A and B are shown apart, each in its own frame.
Chain A
Amino acid sequence: MSTPDTWFDATVIGIRNLTPTVKEFRLQYPLALRLAPGAHIDVQVAIDGQTAMRSYSVVRSDANGQIVIAVKQVQGSRGGSRYMASLTLGSTLKASAPVSNFEPVYGPHHYLLLAAGIGVTPMLSVARALVAQGASLQMLYAVRSKDEQAYLPDLQDLLGERLRVFSADRNERLDVAAEINALAESAQLYLCGPIKLLDAAREHWQAAGRHAAQLRYETFGSSGRYLPQDFTVRVPRLGREILVDAGQSMLDALSEAGIAMVSNCRRGECGLCAVDVLETDGVLDHRDVFFSSREHAGGNRICTCVSRVAGTSITIEPPWRGDPDLSHTTVL
């Protein structure tokens, strides 16, 4: 993902509460846009007077230029969902054309769609496209509780018996490993949900010797294992200590403090913003998909755009090393 070329003024023309924590927004674009299954839009959100970008999957679109997205109010959010919650009917926001990195590749193989929580949003259009193709598919939908099952009626209408719902409050456990083991070798898994689920599925998929390209997943880097909290980044090489507050990314805090950083995707995919970890008094809350589980376990590096520390401080080595003295090549 890179920054979109074009921003449209989209007007909020409908808001509805899907669950106690999920709000649906109907956006009117100035013109109709073509979109592929699995598409998302980027929107500009204002957080503490700063403009940031967030990605939301398109749940539905109409030929008249209306696009529907759903946003979960996340406790300890970095501010994107708080901004979205502040929108009212008639509000306008800068939104990109829809882009899909999650469009299904059509084929005769079986598809398993696995969504958890707000991860259901990209699955709706993917499921509709696969049903229209007459594909063999099944969908598993894990929810926290009966109150938190957004779009369940839509999915039931679309999929009938092919949908299975697992509700944590009813002690219905989704056994990702068993579901993967039950798949034919040619099957494809499409996955969207919290990082814990992504990690578990990725790890088991690999352990089971399955083809990496047959596992498709999407993450906007928004969930971790721990609630976001304030922590301090120590940069001894530069003699700096920088506070990262709970609503801010480490990357932004470092950049704003004048520590030069490079980054691109801002959702834990590309690895450009990763830094070396020297020490921490807490636990690294890896929220990226760039590092492997082995690398996460090693704890030597962290993706600063999405990952955090569950603790009070982390000590890092910044990309800055000063200009080398090439007469003493051992410096490098």
Chain B
Amino acid sequence: MTPRPTFPLNAWYVAAWDAEVGRSLLSRSICNEQMVLYRKQDGRAVALADACWHRLVPLSLGTLVGDDVRCGYHGMRFNADGRCTHMPSQETINPSACVKSFPVVERHRFVWVWPGDPALADPATVPDLHWMDDADWAGDGSMVEVKADYRLVLDNLMDLTHETFVHSSSIGNEALAEAPFEAMHGETTASVRRWVLNEEAPAFWGAQLGKPGPVDRWQIIHFKAPATILLDVGVAPAGSGAPQGDRSQGISMWVIHIPTPATDKTCYYFWCHLRNYRVREQRLTREVLQAARGILLEDETIIEAQQRAMDRNPGRDFYNLNIDAGSLWARRLIDELIDKELAEKPAVHSIPIIPAAKALRA
């Protein structure tokens, strides 16, 4: 039996930051599909299967020739559609020669790819991250490769109780772990809302707000299946009206987290912190980026240790608690997408097979 997939293929996944893709060849594994990414001369991003049609050598080891990739082994060339445009030592091109070309959309500073059925790739379904393009929001982010199932990263984000323990020196404190929360869901989204009222701000937030006294703090987590999490987070002076909708005395961040599955047990964790205060201070952008890097490293350490422990304990399931509601909704939404694909694409490996060569001779 083929193991159950851990991610749907018919979805947009972030393959790279916009600035990572240029006039050179970038190799990435997205949902177990090895891809080579580059830009055409007109700037359009391209994603092709990273294995030459001829003898499977990674095309990412080759070179760009105009808008084509030239294999670094025998010089076969493929255009942005994956069609072969040159074959060595012959006057024609084999009509079957091609590599898979994956649908690509560039939006909100990310290059998104669609590893599944290209006929279903609708750019309108790219998650809305419009703050990434909005001058009222400043910030930057990065990507870290995490040696863990992407869903462990999602679990981590869908329950921010862990901030109290993993990030105690920056964004976590006791009050957070004890505050009540609400978990909600829709057709393709799951959300967790938590307010901590009239408590001391943790170190990072206190410094950002720059005002003394207790704060009202919010954390609203939005998950969009299969792999996008938007955190609407911030603090405002206690009693200044934030829970009622007036955040004008406080400061807000949209924190974007997108762990794209690379393989079943590794992911590219894209993240970005956007703020709506002191937006013209580039020094602050750098400081927040560095602080975030430190926080992410704490998460990465825990999550990779968790993956290793899971590998050492095969067959052991998680015990789920009240605090895991958000994570369970997120996983259910992912499972629904996977179920839908499995219903449309039954496994082909569940019957006895006869090696072709043997069958032909028989």
Contacts and interface: CB of A to CB of B under 8 A. Distances in A.
Contact of A101 (B95, B101, B348): B95
Nearest to B83: A213
Interface stretch (B85-93, B149-157, B161-169, B176-184): B85-93
A136 interface: no
Contacts of A289: 92, 94-95
A5 interface: yes
B339 to A, nearest CB: 15
Contacts of A44: 359-360
B96 interface: yes
A63 B344 contact: yes
Interface in A1-22: 1, 3-8
Contacts of B345: 34
B197 interface: no
B350 interface: yes
Contacts of A6: 348, 353-354, 356
A7 B83 CA distance: 28
A33 B348 contact: yes
B91 A218 contact: no
A104 B117 CA distance: 12
B351 A31 contact: yes
Contacts of A219: 95
Interface residues of A, number: 47
B357 interface: yes
B321 interface: no
Contacts of B350: 31
A31 B346 contact: yes
B173 interface: no
B353 A5 contact: yes
Given A30-B351, A31-B346, A105-B101, A7 B359 contact: yes
B119 interface: yes
Contacts of A212: 85, 93
Contacts of B344: 34, 63
Nearest to B90: A271
A132 B85 CA distance: 28
B95 to A, nearest CB: 5
A270 interface: yes
A269 B95 contact: yes
Nearest to A290: B92
Contact of A217 (B84, B85, B95, B351): B95
A105 B83 contact: yes
Contacts of B360: 3, 44, 51, 53
A176 interface: no
B131 to A, nearest CB: 29
Interface in B80-129: 81-85, 90-96, 98, 101, 103, 117-119, 121
B355 interface: yes
B285 interface: no
Contact of A8 (B94, B347, B351): B351
A4 B95 contact: no
Contact of B348 (A37, A97, A106, A217): A97
B266 interface: no
A295 B348 contact: no
A97 B351 CA distance: 13
Given A6-B354, A105-B101, A94 B95 contact: no
A269 B346 contact: no
B95 A213 contact: no
Nearest to B355: A5
A133 B95 contact: no
Interface in B34-55: none
Contact of B91 (A103, A211, A265, A292): A292
A106 B118 contact: yes
B85 A213 contact: yes
B27 interface: no
A291 interface: yes
Given A44-B359, A212-B85, A218 B95 contact: yes
B98 to A, nearest CB: 7
A3 B95 CA distance: 17
Contact of A5 (B85, B96, B356): B356
A217 B85 CA distance: 14
Nearest to B357: A3
B60 interface: no
B119 A133 contact: yes
A31 B348 contact: yes
Contacts of B362: 51
B79 interface: yes
A94 B359 contact: yes
A216 B79 CA distance: 14
A211 B354 CA distance: 41
A87 interface: no
Contacts of B117: 36
A319 interface: no
A294 interface: yes
A216 B81 CA distance: 12
10 contacts: A5-B355, A31-B350, A34-B345, A51-B360, A96-B356, A103-B118, A211-B85, A213-B84, A269-B94, A292-B92
Interface of B: 79, 81-85, 90-96, 98, 101, 103, 117-119, 121, 344-348, 350-351, 353-357, 359-362
Given A213-B84, A292-B91, 18 more contacts: A5-B355, A6-B353, A30-B351, A31-B347, A31-B348, A32-B346, A33-B346, A34-B344, A34-B346, A51-B361, A53-B360, A94-B359, A214-B83, A216-B83, A216-B95, A265-B94, A289-B95, A291-B91
A-B pairs, 8 with minimum CB distance: A213-B83, A292-B91, A101-B96, A105-B81, A34-B345, A6-B353, A3-B356, A32-B346
